[in-house]
Structure 1
């Protein structure tokens, strides 16, 4: 019975550690800014790693193009930035084993 209480306490501690790690990861993602481009840089989109768009820039000469071309370039820049966000998110993710190892590191003290 005493062992069960210890296990529950350990689980609660680990849950708090996971929550803290997730919160830190969310804060880090907000700080990362990615620039997507299309049309050799004629259209640029800046977004953070949480997919929040910070800015869109369209060179003046793009407005001389057709509406379809302009929209395709904007879409291309958005997709380029989004792909980079996905790559960054994937590289930042831990293996589940690493997560559990990091939680148990402090348990031996």
Structure 2
């Protein structure tokens, strides 16, 4: 069995790796789209919205409800892609760690 100093060092190492992975998530960009690309939302894997792009034809349509639905759909698409990117990054980080099955980070 390992002594407490070894366990503490491992915990600090995991904490630093987790912190680094979280910081990296804000550098990964994804784009969600709806309406055949007429509405696009860019966000980070952390979920921070970077930009919104609307096709000019949507502004002339006068259908406020449709535009709102497309924006919501594009946001949800971006959020799903951000979650996927985040999960992939966290799997990379935990790949070499001896964690029990089903154990998830952060705690």
- Give TM-score scaled by structure 2 length: 0.80
- Equivalent residue number for residue 94 of structure 1: 91
The runs of at least 4 aligned residues of structure 1 exceeding 6 Å deviation read none
Identify unmatched segments of 5+ residues in structure 2.
100-107
* Larger of the two Rg values belongs to structure: 1
- Equivalent residue number for residue 82 of structure 2: 85
- Equivalent residue number for residue 43 of structure 1: 39
Alpha-carbon deviation of 1:83? Answer: 1.0
Structure with the bigger RCO (C-alpha within 8 Å, sep 6+) is 2
Pair 1:70-2:90 in alignment: no
Q: Name the one with the larger helix percent.
A: 1
- Equivalent residue number for residue 18 of structure 1: 14
Alpha-carbon RMSD across the aligned residues, in angstroms, is: 2.1
SS at match of 2:3: helix
Q: Count residues in correspondence.
A: 97
Between the aligned partners of 1:99 and 1:62, the Cα distance in structure 2 is: 49
Between the aligned partners of 1:99 and 1:92, the Cα distance in structure 2 is: 14
Identify unmatched segments of 5+ residues in structure 1.
102-109
CA shift digits 1:37-84 (9 cap, x unpaired): 111111110000000000011111112241110000001110111111
